[in-house]
Structure 1
Amino acid sequence: MIALDRKTLTPAQRRELIASPAGWIACGFGSGLVPKAQGTAGSLLAILPWLWMRQWPLSVYAWVVVVVFVVGIWACNVAGRKLGVDDHRALVIDEFVGQWITLAPALLAPWWLVLAGFALFRLFDVAKPWPIGWLDRRLKGGLGVMVDDVVAGLFAAAALWLLVRTAGIPLPWR
């Protein structure tokens, strides 16, 4: 099935995505199917499992992020082929990984740092400064979907870490 553009999904395409495990994962468990601001919806939903993940040792947390990254590449490859668009807006599992990377410095920090991390990740993901935009334009398929958000997450995590250090909050890593 071919998407007419990067924004619009037909009801049949929506059903096809949520009917397959790859589509369900790639669409961020349905969060990418909202009519507008799909990336923001995916980033918001990513905070729910993060609230549970934040209690894990950093090594387990990191492994989960890596596993979801690899599964996300596969899922976005499959879903992108179904849609006929490499990086459709509905594919938001990359927002989960990027948000989780961003929030690593805030694992046991106050709630306002979670809000700051969310805002920082959205800023880097939308603005796409170099090399994020460069990667977004050059890499295709599932890897292309995932990598630019990983780099945006790294940039946002660095900014959040600076905020944590500036505010004098002890780092939570165990």
Structure 2
Amino acid sequence: MTDSNHPLSRVRLTNPVHLLALGFGTGLIRKAPGTWGSAAGAIAGVIFLHFLTPNSFLILTALSFVLGCYICQKTAEDMGVHDHGSIVWDEFVGMWLCLLAVPTLSWYWVAAAFAVFRFFDILKPFPIKIFDRKLESGFGIMIDDILAAVYAMIVLRLIAGVVM
């Protein structure tokens, strides 16, 4: 990473915008940064949900989406690459939405939310892939993960309806 042309050489974890966009550093893990960002998002979400009501957590998640549009765009501009793999704030917010769909915060429901979210985030079924390819703003970086979270939430609610 000594090459000044490398996108990661243009970001600093001491910059609060970069710190958030890179998921407190989890986006810098070389193998599967989106998976690590999702895992960190799940842990943070569980912690928040222990202290907040579901409605307060939903408001926090919505505000984090709006903030994410800015921080992801700014970090992408600083890196010179749209939606670089190390930008994982969108995974945090997507996981937080998924956690709102689980009936309990037991380890198996959190693991199910994580697995189903990662499945849709990686697969990007219609129309997620279109949004991912066409939108090049911070909103574009965020929205594909939000849509993946919506798909995951539907699956989680269906599973919860069967098992509960």
| TM-score normalized with structure 2 length | 0.91
1:2-13 correspondence runs (5 A): 3=6, 9-10=7-8, 12-13=9-10
Give 4+ residue runs of structure 1 displaced > 3 Å after superposition: none
In structure 2, the partner of 1:91 is 87
Q: CA RMSD in A?
A: 1.5
Which of 130, 133, 142 is the matching residue for 1:134?
130
Which of 54, 63, 76 is the matching residue for 1:67?
63
**SS of the counterpart of 1:39?**
helix
1:116 is aligned to 2:112: yes
Listed as ranges, the gaps of 5+ residues in structure 1 are 4-8, 169-174
In structure 2, the partner of 1:26 is 21
Q: Identity of aligned pairs, percent?
A: 34
Instruction: Name the amino acid aligned to 2:20.
Output: I
* C-alpha distance in 1 between matches for 2:75 and 2:105: 36
Residues 96 and 48 from structure 1, CA distance in 2 versus in 1: closer, same or farther, beyond 3 angstroms?
Answer: same
Listed as ranges, the gaps of 5+ residues in structure 2 are none
How many residues are paired up?
160
Does the CA contact (< 8 Å) of 1:121 and 1:156 recur in 2? yes
